[in-house]
Amino acid sequence: MKRDSGYSTMAAQQKQEEKLWDAVKTSAMVLGTGLLIFTAFMNSASWYVQKIWETSGNFWQTAWLNLYNLFEGKEWSLFLFGAALVPALAFWCFNGILMVADVTGKPTFITRYRIQLGKNDPVDTKKLRQAIYTALFNQFFISLPMLVPMFHVMKWWGNTFSKELPTFQWFLVELSIFTVTEEILFYYSHRLVHLPLLYKHIHKKHHEWTAPIGVVSIYAHPIEHILSNTLPVMTGPMIMGSHIVSIAAWFSLALITTSISHCGYHLPFLPSPEFHDFHHLKYVPALLSPPSCVLSLLTKLLLENDLCISREACAAHLLADQNAIRAIKQSFGLTRFLLTSHLTASHLADFCASTSADLETSKAQTHS
Ligand SMILES: [Zn+2]
Ligand SMILES: [Zn+2]
């Protein structure tokens, strides 16, 4: 009996080990296949992007050289143009469109994606004017003077005004480093200004807008504008000694991204701003964005449902995503149709050409 039970225990153990081994094999296979598909996708995606970049690379290089010659290589002028004017134009053009929607409620395709329904519908123009003044003040009297020490750091690196543009791959590497640096610094500086004493005297101004709009992204106390808005964005390029063209692209991207997270609309194709919108509405320090893109993305995915401000907003948000997915599917379908119809047409043309060539040859042979 004892021996039997010993055998059965051993058999059960063996079975369990086999099961475990099977599970390991299955997981390895799934992970391996996933990794392979992911790598293949990334390789082909980066190959296509690289090809597009190579094709247009000459255009960008020529454009940069033209600009360099236009400014006669004056580094300070080039720096002001790339690090101040281009990002400011990107910010005000993007926010200009959002402000039209906030003030007039038009175009309706934007306003139907509003997160906090009934808020800023239309926006209080007196409050808006005040936000614009503060934003302009921060850009002119805080961000602009901060470019002076940055310019000297960049000159020390000696690469910022090079006549040769960085490669596309290097720009992508830099962009990832800029993003991670900005997320970490923003997270800790934002936590800092949420300390009761600092909140009362500094960060409260930014939180006056419980339903934020795009321009509110830089509506902040000067100290907050230095600590949370400007330094985190400037640090990446200063560590990397980046080219002015990369700085211009990064600053513009950072300003547009922060405008999106304050815009108050969950627009299709754009990242959801509900996370930061909720932070403004409820003022919950625990919901500050976490210090990395991956963590931030994960938290957003895990907490998104809890962060829906109202059932209506949640429905609008889901509808926005569904519409975006439908539009992507439709554009894929159209591209596939165009590609296949193009292939069919070109095959048909090839076939016709070869048939007529054959016909000509046989005619010639018959005559001879
Ligand atoms: Zn805050
Ligand atoms: Zn904010």
214-265 confidence digits (pLDDT tens): 999 999 999 999 999 999 999 999 999 999 999 999 999 999 999 999 999 9
- Residue 215 Cα to ligand 1 midpoint, Å, equals 15
Q: pLDDT band at 281, cuts 50/70/90?
A: confident
- Residue 240 Cα to ligand 2 midpoint, Å, equals 27
- Residue 318 Cα to ligand 2 midpoint, Å, equals 23
Ligand nearest to the CA of 194: 1
- Residue 244 Cα to ligand 1 midpoint, Å, equals 31
Centroid of chain to Cα 115 = 20
Quickly list H helices, the chain.
Answer: 2-70, 75-80, 86-104, 108-111, 125-138, 144-157, 168-193, 196-198, 222-224, 231-240, 244-262, 274-282, 293-303, 311-367
pLDDT tens-digit map of 123-154: 999 999 999 999 999 999 999 999 999 999 99
Give percent of the chain with pLDDT exceeding 70: 61
Report which of residues 118 and 30 the model is more confident about: 118
Backbone torsions φ then ψ of 74, nearest 5 degrees: -70, 115
| Residues 69-83, mean pLDDT to the nearest whole number | 96
Ligand nearest to the CA of 217: 2
Confirm if 281 and 275 have CB atoms less than 8 A apart: no
pLDDT attached to residue 69:
95
| Residues 343-360, mean pLDDT to the nearest whole number | 56
| Residues 276-288, mean pLDDT to the nearest whole number | 71
- Residue 192 Cα to ligand 1 midpoint, Å, equals 10
Whether the per-residue pLDDT at 194 is higher than 80: the answer is yes
pLDDT attached to residue 282:
79
Confirm if 99 and 215 have CB atoms less than 8 A apart: yes
pLDDT attached to residue 1:
45
pLDDT attached to residue 286:
47
Q: How many Cβ atoms from other residues are within 10 Å of residue 259's Cβ?
A: 23
pLDDT attached to residue 36:
61
pLDDT attached to residue 27:
52
pLDDT attached to residue 59:
86
Q: Tell me which of 33-42, 119-128, 228-237, 269-278 is least confident.
A: 33-42
Token pair 């990832």: residue: 176
Angle formed at CA 227 by CA 221 and CA 228, multiple of 5 degrees: 80
| Residues 40-53, mean pLDDT to the nearest whole number | 62
**One-letter identity of residue 3:** R
pLDDT tens-digit map of 307-329: 445 455 555 556 666 666 666 66
Confirm if 266 and 317 have CB atoms less than 8 A apart: yes
